[in-house]
Amino acid sequence: PHRKLCTLFMSIILTFHVSRLLSEVLCDPLSDFNVWTSTRPLNNSAKGHAANESVVIAATRLDGRSFFWEQAPSAEGTVSGIVTLLATIQALYPVTQEAPPPHNIFFSFFQGEAFDYIGSSKMVYDMERNDFVIDLNNVHSMLEIGQVGLHRGRSLWMHSDPVSRQNKSVDTQVSAMMSRVQSAAAGLNLTVDQPSVSQPLPPSSFQRFLRVRGIPGLVLADHNTSFNNRYYESLYDDAENLNVTYPPDLSPDEQLVYETDAAKSLAEVATLVARSLYIQAGGEEKNLNNITADPKIVAQLLYGFLIQKNNSWFRSLLPPEVTKKGDNSILSSGPPQFYIGLGPRIHGPVHSVTRFVQYILANLTGTITNLTESQCQNPSEVNTENKDLFSYFWVSGPASVNSTGEPFCVRASVRLSKAVSPAFELLEYGSPNYSTWTESRWKSIRARIFLVASRELEMLTLGVGVAVLLLSLLVTYFISSKAELLFSSAREPPTTTY
């Protein structure tokens, strides 16, 4: 019976440990958010095909990677595209409000592109399933901004897809799009050319759209057949690689607004992209002279993304609770984090560049409202506001010389959408169509430290132990030799019953 009970007990323990091992999650999918906005607000509550809506997509990537974990400055590989597209939006916004083009311009910042196009895969997947504000039938064309650091000269290249251009209709539209970009370059200190028609696309988010449908589109980059960026996806793709340097006698606030050569170059690229998008969306060419990117905005963006995110401009764009608490995750020293990480469930969107781009977009395209903090956080309670068309941001505001800023509410059509590989929604971990990048879960390692006693205490302990041992042996020998005397019982005399 005891052996059966012991066997049953051991089987219960073994079953418990095996079930615990099988239920334990060892890794999490890389995930974060895409950031998007449009010149005309889109109804976020409506999913699928947007009636009477045709959009020109302008896109770039948000993330970078390198050999070292969370060390991915990605100056030319990523930041050049982010800054250019943000400056493009700033240049386009006033004109598109006064003279809106027939086609809506949809700006998208894709997260996780360095890991096999996580963000763009998710957006295309949602469009196919009618789970996004637009679908692929709404897409008129696409212009993606790649590496535009202009390392060598002042030349840009318009890359197109040779496979989709085998369709005559797509080829005609792509050729017309190239002509519009070249006409937009008139008067700028830039030359725009196209590679060989047979040359395939460079790594780009546009490829994820082409896998589903032949969409007319271009990828704008500063290279023809091979990258000019020697440090692509490297630890050394930093501010120095993009030639963002400052005179030694400038204070941080002076560096923030200092227009470096890189800022002036990217401002011209942004002007080109903005004018190209406006023409592509059907805007009138007479308005092109009113579309010019601000080099000062570009200089501030470069400083914040490559040098120091904890600066006066970025602080004015973030919520007051972030700036007052001095959250190290958001406003720590140095540039933002461009590694995608594990998203909001583990780290939160504050651990990447996502949140900065979101609030910068709100600043560049938003409208200041008279809403209170409570109304800004709950706009559905205000009859005059529409939460389906706009997002609302309670921001710190610019600080004066002797005081902090006065917070206010900004209304903007800036949205977030999930950037996680569809493979994890489909539970297809061996999927040939979608990436399955994960990060192992980190567990805390525990250790106990024991102090070593002094030499005297060690010898004393040894001596006492030896003495106790000898005494025990002596007592044991004495008791053993006298066992018959010590443990024998006296024989009682027999009793009789008669």
What sign results for the dihedral spanned by CA atoms 265, 267, 273, 275?
Answer: negative
pLDDT of residue 354: 92
Instruction: Note whether residue 352 is domain-resident.
Output: yes
Q: In sequence order, what are the residues at sequence separation of 6 or more whose Cβ sits closer than 8 angstroms to the Cβ of residue 204?
A: 144, 146, 159, 219
Residues 108, 469: Cα–Cα separation, whole Å = 80
Q: Identify the residue whose tokens are 């999650």.
A: 25
Instruction: Note whether residue 458 is domain-resident.
Output: no
| Residue range(s) defining the domain that contains residue 325 | 22-366+413-448
pLDDT of residue 330: 78
Instruction: Note whether residue 383 is domain-resident.
Output: no
Instruction: Note whether residue 491 is domain-resident.
Output: no
Residues 287, 278: Cα–Cα separation, whole Å = 9
Tokens of 353: 């560049």
pLDDT per 10-residue tile (average), the chain, 498 residues: 50 52 73 95 93 95 86 91 97 94 97 95 96 96 94 87 96 96 92 93 95 96 92 91 92 94 95 97 92 96 94 91 65 86 57 87 94 92 91 88 78 95 92 91 80 87 94 91 76 52
Instruction: Note whether residue 493 is domain-resident.
Output: no
Contact 55, 100 (CB under 8 A): no
pTM, rounded to two decimals = 0.84
CATH of the domain at 430: 3.40.630.10
State how many domains the chain has.
1
Radius of gyration of the CA atoms of the chain, in A: 34
Residues 331, 308: Cα–Cα separation, whole Å = 9
Instruction: Note whether residue 394 is domain-resident.
Output: no
Residues 130, 119: Cα–Cα separation, whole Å = 17
Instruction: Note whether residue 398 is domain-resident.
Output: no
Contact 396, 407 (CB under 8 A): yes
Instruction: Note whether residue 374 is domain-resident.
Output: no
Helix ranges (DSSP H) in 185-251: 206-210
Q: Which residue type, as a one-letter code, is found at position 107?
A: F
Burial code of 181-207, b = ≥16 C-beta within 10 A, e = fewer?
Answer: bbebbeeeebebebbeeeeebbbbbbb
